[in-house]
Structure 1
Amino acid sequence: MHRVLVVDDEPQLVRALVINLRARKYEVDSAADGATALKLTADRRPDVVVLDLGLPDMDGVEVIRGIRGWTRVPILVLSARQTSDEKVEALDAGADDYVTKPFGMDELLARLRAAVRRAEPAPTSEPSPGVIETADFTVDLSAKKVHRAGRDVRLTPTEWHLLEVLVRDMGRLVSQKQLLREVWGPSYGTETNYLRVYMAQLRRKLESDPSHPRYFVTEPGMGYRFEP
């Protein structure tokens, strides 16, 4: 059974989410402010956090950064903020997805399921797909680890899935639509700002010169390619 932490200061919305999630066999905790959210994330170790950005004590982006300081738990933002810049800021801070209020419960639940799936480890019965080595880092697809300069590189589940899709198709152009659907789910296809943010994060973590990428190549208007 998966545990969800709902962070929102609207009691009616929290109540609706708790009822719907528990009806689907999720365990649910809730917080009405950022400080409580950070404490419950540490104490209860949820499998996914559903987070409103407009909290009474701190901005939700601060909460994302606080959570990302020590855990890769998926974070699904639920907010009335609709501008592209605000969405990018939340994604750049480490959120995995963004749902705009008002929203449909079915859509939210589908996105939550997708976030949980991305965070689940691969079955141990799968054969090892091998290790990809570059001059700057090594990707172990079986262990879901990346090493650079003798150290593990911490990637969020979403960052890892994006890297994994690109590495498995190394040398080939992977379209924006394919990446969105494989990493975020079949209902995605136009949220190209997600790709822009997460590709920038991968480059910062793995490229020697992120502004002139050697491994993660952009094909403008088309997609991305991994060149080992």
Structure 2
Amino acid sequence: MRKLLIVEDENEINKLIHDFFELKEYEIKQAYSGTEALLLFDQFQFDAIILDLMLPGKDGEEVLRLLKAKRPIPVIIVSAKEREIATITTLKLGADDYVAKPFNLEELYLRTEKAIAMYGKMSAAIPSAQVLSFGEIELSEAERTVKITGKTINLTSKEFDILSLLIKAPNQVFTKEKILELVWQDEFEVDTNTVSVHVSNLRKKLGKSAGIKTIWGIGFKLEPPL
């Protein structure tokens, strides 16, 4: 089942899109602000995002920029902004398509399906070298999945990014401040305690395969198995 994030502050439109895509057997999360969208994006793995530009708090263009900086994902813009200007701006920021309000739900669905299919072809073309191994752990950057002895481990977006960072440089010590800088990129007001909590959760999920060692007073490193 495909997973969709709808980011739209107007309740009626959000529900309209939700109900239509639910009939198409999508699993859906709904956000009503840019900040809420970014929080959900860090908690779940989505196949596509439908994003309004005129949002409270962080506007759609800023949200789009932050989403695209995190990982490749199809983003379809839905907005009442002047089409020509908004289309050019959002495409420059990495949007995959633009649908002007008022829109046809079937057209929105078909454009979303097309964008997902395109990303699927791109992922299939990425060489297998994108799969990183550490002991029993296999991490696929293309699919953003983690497996231990073939079993998929469900990680949040931030947990995945931390593990990816550590697994690329075994034995290198990363300070909490550096992890915060590389993974969170100053998008939220968070401190180093947040890093510690995520690493703790990561250890629990990975179990004995984790290999994450705390360097007291400094940070963390990944120790290769003996």
Q: What is the TM-score with the length of structure 1 in the denominator? A: 0.54
CA drift at 1:101 = 0.2
Quote the Cα distance in structure 2 between the aligned partners of 1:89 and 1:47. 23
Residue 143 (1) aligns with residue 121 (2): no
Identity %: 31
CA drift at 1:123 = 9.3
Quote the Cα distance in structure 1 between the aligned partners of 2:108 and 2:117. 14
Residue 60 (1) aligns with residue 60 (2): yes
Contact 1:81 1:87 in 2 (8 A): no
Aligned to 1:45: 45
CA drift at 1:16 = 1.0
CA drift at 1:142 = 6.4
Q: How does 1:100-119 map to 2 (within 5 A)?
A: 100-119=100-119
Q: Higher Cα Rg: structure 1 or 2?
A: 2
CA drift at 1:90 = 0.7
Q: How does 1:14-25 map to 2 (within 5 A)?
A: 14-25=14-25
**What's the secondary structure of 2:19's corresponding residue?**
helix
| Superposition RMSD in Å | 2.5
**What's the secondary structure of 1:120's corresponding residue?**
helix
Quote the Cα distance in structure 2 between the aligned partners of 1:87 and 1:102. 15
Quote the Cα distance in structure 2 between the aligned partners of 1:90 and 1:21. 23
**What's the secondary structure of 1:40's corresponding residue?**
helix
Quote the Cα distance in structure 1 between the aligned partners of 2:44 and 2:126. 29
Quote the Cα distance in structure 2 between the aligned partners of 1:97 and 1:89. 12
CA drift at 1:86 = 1.9
CA drift at 1:83 = 3.6
Deviation per CA, 1:99-119, whole angstroms, max 9, x where unpaired?
000001111111011011011
Unaligned runs of 5+ in 2: 130-140, 143-226
Residue 76 (1) aligns with residue 60 (2): no
Q: How does 1:1-228 map to 2 (within 5 A)?
A: 1-121=1-121, 143=127
Contact 2:50 2:75 in 1 (8 A): yes
Deviation per CA, 1:120-158, whole angstroms, max 9, x where unpaired?
14797xxxxxxxxxxxxxxxx56399xxxxxxxx99xxx
Query: CA distance change for structure 1 residues 99 and 143 in 2, over 3 Å: closer, same or farther?
Result: same
**Higher helix fraction (1 or 2):** 2
Quote the Cα distance in structure 1 between the aligned partners of 2:62 and 2:122. 31
Contact 2:83 2:100 in 1 (8 A): no
**What's the secondary structure of 2:4's corresponding residue?**
strand
Q: What is the TM-score with the length of structure 2 in the denominator? A: 0.54
Contact 1:8 1:52 in 2 (8 A): yes
Q: How many residues align?
A: 132
Quote the Cα distance in structure 1 between the aligned partners of 2:114 and 2:120. 10
Query: CA distance change for structure 1 residues 85 and 120 in 2, over 3 Å: closer, same or farther?
Result: same
